[in-house]
Each structure stands twice: as C-alpha cells, then as structure tokens.
Amino acid sequence: RAKMTRRGSHVIFESAIRQELENRLTLESELALAADRGEFELFYQPQVRLVDGSLVGAEALIRWRHPARGYVSPGEFMPVVNTSALSERIASWVMETACRQARAWELSGNGVRVAINLSPSQLDSGDLAHSVAALLKTTGLTPSLLELEVTEDILLHDESRVLDMFKRIQQLGVRVLFDDFGTGYASLSYLKKFPLDGLKIDRSFVLDLLADSDDAAIVGSTIGLSKQLGLTVVAEGIENRATADFLVSMGCEEGQGYFFGRPMPAVAFEKQFLAARLEAVSAA
Ligand code: C2E
Ligand code: MG
Ligand code: MG
Ligand code: MG
C-alpha cells in the first residue's frame, strides 16, 4: 500500500511539473506574439523631491496590454521574459522606447529624467555601454536625462565586466542606481564594489514605515549610509503624506509612490505632471 501511495504521488508530482512546463511554454509563445503585435507599453511613474513634491523624474515600467485580460503587470511575465529567448528583444525595446520618449519630452521644453530597469540579459551579452552610447547618439537625448536601475540579481554577473561597463556608462553622463536596496543578501558588499550613483530603498521597508519600528530603523540607517557614501537615496512605495513627511524628517530627498502618482501611460503623465509643471513655470 505504501508503495502504491508513493507511486501515486510520484505521478501527481510529475503531472504538476508537466503542467507547469506547459503553462510556461504557452506564456512564452503568447509573449512572443505580443512582442510581434506591439502589445507592450511603458507606463511612467513620477519621482519627486520629497520636501515640496516637485517632479524630478519618471520611472518607466513595462505593461502588457493583453487583448482579453487588459493591462498585465510585469511581475506576472517579466520573470518568464528574463529567462527566455525574448529577453534581449524586450530589453532593447524598453530602452529604445524610454529614450525616445525622454527625448520627445526634452524637445517639447519639458525635459524630465527617465529611469529604466535593466534586465539580466543586458549585462550578459554584448556591450551595454556601447548600446547606451549609440542610443543617446541616435535619439539625441541629453545623457543626464537617463538613469539606469539595476537589481542585485543583475550584479551577480561577472563582476569585473560589470564594473567596467558601469564606469563607461557613467562616463557618458548616465546615472546608475541600485534598485530594491536591502532585499538581497549582499547589498552592502555591492555598494562597496560597484560605482553606484544612488540607491532606491525597497518598498517593503517603506510601506509599513510608520507602524514598524524595525523598518524605521532600517530605512533611517540606509538614508544615513547613503549620505555618508555620497549617494542619492530614493524611497519607493510612499502611499501617504505621513510616510513622506517621516522620510523627510529622516533626511530622505527623493521618493515615489502612489501618494504622488501611480504608473500611468505617457500621455496621462504628460497631462498630469509635465503640463502642470510648464504652467507653474510660465505663471512664475
Ligand atoms: P521596481 O523597479 O522596484 O518598480 C517599482 C514597483 O513598485 C512598480 O511595480 C510600481 O508600480 C510599484 N509601486 C510604486 N509605488 C508604489 C506604492 O506606493 N505602493 C505599492 N504597493 N507599489 C508601488 P510594477 O510596475 O508592477 O513593476 C514591478 C517590477 O517589475 C519592477 O520593480 C521591476 O523590477 C520590474 N519591471 C517593471 N518594468 C520593467 C522593465 O521595463 N524592464 C525590466 N527589466 N523590469 C521591469
Ligand atoms: Mg525600478
Ligand atoms: Mg524597486
Ligand atoms: Mg522590485
């Protein structure tokens, strides 16, 4: 009997794996089709100076506009994209689309810094510094209007190569920020190894900041550490004014979160954030 049960669960396990594999393959082919059909879109979320809420930048965040399901979040498909043959194609599309958008805003007299999330494939293959330089040249975008966000899983790649690449990217005038700071296991050692311009405190420490004294201690010391190292610090996941005020009292300069604005299509971002800023300028 025991043997039969074991065999039984073995069969169930196998079919679960097969099911998962099938789901993945289906999703992969749907994603390839989506890329062909132009179903990906970049949303933009405002980044602000916390003391006065003024706009300092926008983070470009990918969405999949699914014909039946509506907008799908990157959490549901980027892990598959990043481990499939589509990775480089979508990463290049993100980079090109964001740079073109940033250049269009710059040309309209409404320049705003745009931050892009890098994918692992961009550090694996080819020369990222070279493609960034080429893109700046073809679009005409001012380098200081571009920022790249990297996460710890990206930094796990060949260290000396990544180090060299970052240096060359920064020589172009493009900033590199460490995203989701504090969630990985070696954040501090990466700060020491890589020439980063700043870090983004992960939203998991910010969301509950007012209620959780451990989070407050972690965020407070991360802000202090950043300042001592001369790094820009950006808090993500700010959902209310009290959290923003608390961050200001701890010395945090920049932030983003639903309180200031959700990620939104480029046109909505223009209307809500860029046009308002132009009006403020012309009224002054
Ligand atoms: P991330 O780079 O850490 O982006 C911030 C995430 O926090 C975004 O989720 C944003 O919508 C969310 N967020 C912002 N403010 C708040 C807030 O106040 N409260 C809460 N609860 N969440 C907030 P999103 O857009 O779903 O993206 C998730 C992750 O997917 C990103 O995390 C990034 O790692 C990845 N991702 C998004 N777009 C791209 C892309 O174009 N390329 C690559 N490689 N990865 C991307
Ligand atoms: Mg990011
Ligand atoms: Mg983040
Ligand atoms: Mg994240």
The model's pLDDT over 120-131, given as tens digits with 9 standing for 90+, comes to 888 877 789 999
Spell out which residues have Cβ within 5 A of ligand 2, the ion. Answer: 117, 149, 179
- CA angle (128, 57, 37) in 5-degree steps: 60
DSSP annotation of 144 reads G
Token output for 225: 């550490």
Q: Render pLDDT for 161-216 as a digit per residue (tens, 0 to 9).
A: 888 999 999 999 999 999 999 888 777 888 888 889 999 999 999 999 999 999 99
What is the rounded CA–CA span in Å between residue 276 and residue 53?
13
Beta bridge partners of 64: 40, 72
Ligand 2 mean position to 206 CA, how many Å? 15
Complex confidence, ipTM: 0.97
DSSP-based helix, strand, coil % in the chain, nearest 5: 55, 20, 25
* Per-residue confidence (pLDDT) for residue 185, from 0 to 100: 74
- Has residue 231 got a pLDDT over 60? yes
Residue ID of nearest Cα to ligand 1 atom 44: 119
Distance 181 CA to ligand 3 centre (A): 7
pLDDT at 14 over 90: no
**Looking at the DSSP assignment, which residues form a beta bridge with residue 44?**
60, 264
DSSP letter at 145 equals G
Residue with CA nearest ligand 1 atom 10: 263
